[in-house]
Amino acid sequence: PDRMPRDTLDHALDLLRDTFGHPAFRGEQADIVEQVANGGDALVLMPTGGGKSLCYQLPAMLRDGCGIVVSPLIALMQDQVEGLRQLGVRAACLNSSLDAQAAAKVEQQWLDGDLDLLYVAPERLLSARMLAMLDRAHERGQVALFAIDEAHCVSQWGHDFRPEYRQLTVLHERWPDVPRIALTATADAPTRREIVERLALEDARQFVSSFDRPNIRYRVVHKDGGGTRQLLDFLRGHEGESGIVYAFSRKRVESVAEQLVEAGVHALPYHAGLPAETRAANQRHFLQADGVVMVATIAFGMGIDKPDVRFVAHVDLPKSVEGYYQETGRAGRDGGPAEAWLSYGLGDVVNLRALIDRGEASDARKQLERNKLDALLGYCESTDCRRQALLGWFGEDYIGAHDGGCGNCDNCLEPPETWDGTEAARKALSCVYRCGQRFGAGHLIDILTGKDSDKIQQYGHDTLSTWAIGQDLDARQWRGVFRQLVAAGLLEADAERYNALRLTATSAAVLRGERRLSFRREPEPRKRRGRTTRS
Ligand code: ADP
Ligand code: ZN
């Protein structure tokens, strides 16, 4: 397409300043606006908080007619429309929360040319009625563009999969002259490819922003017990600040929230099992009050625009790097210093692996989920810059100013000590093998450290050649060894037997002494300080 005429670009800047109150474009916004305002297609990959909305709002206002925005969540649409109306932009939405009369009124406004932006849920957009409306609007020149927000919903492998998104190719087929812009904050290569293919965006210009969030400090700790005590330690550094604590399950959410409240933290629970009113009230409180800690499952967060979230803590292991990055991206949207803290333990890995293995999904999907979990474990156990590892996953070649690192993650700030774990790994793996690959880490550690428990007696495990060969390390250090072996794929959780660990195809090289291993030294557990808290 031709360059946007000078006066259009000026007009865009005027709108940006006068209507939206921003002095200048951010990142690639200007180029994206230009591309779409000129009638071209675009695929926009930008992190949460990067400023995606303006990329379709401005072109919609600049072009003749109304921009049609496909958005998966009603709550998200309503927030956007409300925000736009407050700025004086003519916006509306069509969704199941409107009665027929209200919907008819919006449709009339649209056909009359009285709307700049119309937000629609995908299933509504695809209805025969709406497609016919689109034909009429198109004839009258009332379709400025199609924006497909949260475009990763088209991906079958993501956790936000929405089958209707796949049918959105109809937009391109029926109205090929209307520009399309697809936007997402999920940028790993497989998802990107799937979006391009499923939405027929092969010819669209791709705008890939850096996903770096330099103001977020990343930190990973290894769980000591349930992890609540460590979480409380972490929260002490954030007193009076707003933040989100993500937990694995509804039950965990409730128990963690309860323990935080007992310890004097202003915490509220949020998960899909709570009554709608409670959820809405807690969310409102989090958005409006200062210093609320929301303890939540991942049901919480999509579309939450609170700029001063100072931390996002994961008290259990998330399922994938993409999910983790999206969740932590909710911290520090105002650009101020923020922390992303994650605690995980061997139990988390075993739980998640078992969940995948026992799930109903196809083998291909299970394998994909295992790979995603492995990537995340690799991140957790990495001794190099966390930011580099995260951005690398999104295909970004990050080189920081601090010896290649970012200078703002735990590994950059306090480089971890490592030790040669080759011998320890051999002992651990041969112990797994000697007792038939049927036992969990706790029992294996009892054998290695030469305990004399009932279970050891019962199985006669004190006669194994591996009994008491690991007394040079204590139980905590052994847990670290097992955790890192699982993370490295040298041991795996048995899907059939709860907690049991077994060897993998790659264990043999270690057992034969052909592969050397370097482990991260486990930090000494911190002494309890001040009043004791339950953990
Ligand atoms: P995303 O949808 O990518 O998560 P939003 O479109 O919601 O991001 O924008 C995030 C925040 O950044 C909003 O508060 C928005 O007002 C602000 N913002 C967007 N563009 C600019 C800009 N050019 N200058 C200043 N602030 C901006
Ligand atoms: Zn770093």
What pLDDT, in 10s, does the model give residues 398-412? 888 888 899 999 999
pLDDT for position 486: 84
Percent of the chain at pLDDT > 90 equals: 64
pLDDT at 370: 82
Range ranked top by mean pLDDT from 116-120, 162-166, 509-513: 116-120
Ligand 1 centroid distance, CA of 26 (Å)? 8
Question: Going by C-beta distance under 8 Å and a sequence separation of 6 or more, which residues neighbour residue 396?
Answer: 210, 211, 212
Span from the CA of 185 to the centroid of ligand 1 (angstroms): 13
Distance 218 CA to ligand 2 centre (A): 8
Q: Whose CA is nearest to atom 18 of ligand 1?
A: 51
Q: Which ligand gives the minimal distance to the CA of 56?
A: 1
Q: Is the pLDDT of residue 529 over 60?
A: no
- The DSSP output letter for 522 is P
Distance 501 CA to ligand 2 centre (A): 32
Q: Which of 16, 28, 54, 82 to mutate to test the pocket of ligand 1 (most atoms within 8 A of CB)?
A: 54
The helix or strand, by DSSP H or E, that contains position 104, with its residue range, turns out to be helix 100-111
What is the per-residue pLDDT for 534? 43
| Mean pLDDT, residues 530-534 | 44
Find tokens 């994909």 and name the residue: 368
Cα(390) to ligand 2 centroid in Å equals: 10
Q: Which residue spans within 149-247 are E strands per DSSP?
A: 180-184, 205-208, 216-222, 242-246
- Structure tokens belonging to residue 142: 């009332």
Q: Is the pLDDT at 11 greater than 60, yes or no?
A: yes
Question: To test ligand 1's pocket by mutation, which of 33, 149, 305 has the most ligand atoms within 8 angstroms of CB?
Answer: 305
Separation of CA 404 and ligand 2 centre (Å)? 8
* ipTM exceeds 0.85: yes
135 Cα–ligand 1 center, Å: 32
Residue 357 CB neighbour total at 10 angstroms: 16
Between 212 and 225, the more confident residue is 212
**What value does the mean pLDDT take over residues 64-88?**
93
pLDDT digits (tens, 9 = 90+) for 316-372: 999 888 889 989 999 998 889 999 999 998 888 888 888 888 888 888 788 778 878
- For residues 268 and 256, what is the distance between their CA atoms, to the nearest angstrom? 10
Average pLDDT, the chain: 90
What pLDDT, on a 0 to 100 scale, did the predictor assign at position 227? 84
Examine the pLDDT at 208 and tell me if it is beyond 50.
yes
- How do residues 103-147 score in pLDDT, each as one tens digit? 999 999 999 999 999 999 999 999 999 999 999 999 999 999 999
Residue 74: which pLDDT band, with cuts at 50, 70 and 90?
confident
**How crowded is residue 83: how many other Cβ atoms within 10 Å of its Cβ?**
14
pLDDT at 333: 87
Distances (CA, A) of 463 to 459, 466, 467, 482: 9, 8, 7, 22
Helix (H) or strand (E) holding 136: helix 128-139
Higher pLDDT, 131 or 209: 131
Query: Does residue 98 surpass a pLDDT of 90?
Result: no
For the chain, give the percent of residues with pLDDT over 70: 96
pLDDT score of 487 more than 70: yes
Ligand nearest to the CA of 48: 1
Per-residue pLDDT at 531? 45
Around ligand 1, the residues with Cβ closer than 6 Å are 22, 25-26, 29, 46, 48-54, 305
Q: What average pLDDT does this structure show over 297-309?
A: 87
Q: Hey, which of 14, 53, 306 would you mutate to test ligand 1's pocket, going by the most ligand atoms within 8 Å of its Cβ?
A: 53
Question: Counting Cβ atoms within 10 Å, is residue 375 exposed (0-12), middle (13-18) or buried (19+)?
Answer: middle
**Per-range mean pLDDT, top range of 246-255, 359-368, 401-410, 526-535:** 246-255
Ligand 1, closest atom to CA 23? 24
Give the pLDDT of residue 526. 61
Ligand nearest to the CA of 405: 2
Provide the pLDDT for residue 366: 83
Model pTM score? 0.73
Ligand 1 centroid–CA 49 distance in Å is 6
Higher pLDDT, 438 or 224: 438
Ligand 1 mutation target, pool 13, 14, 19, 20, most atoms within 8 A of CB: 20
384 alpha carbon, closest ligand: 2
- Average pLDDT, integer, range 254-260: 97
Q: Which atom of ligand 1 is nearest to the CA of 47?
A: 3
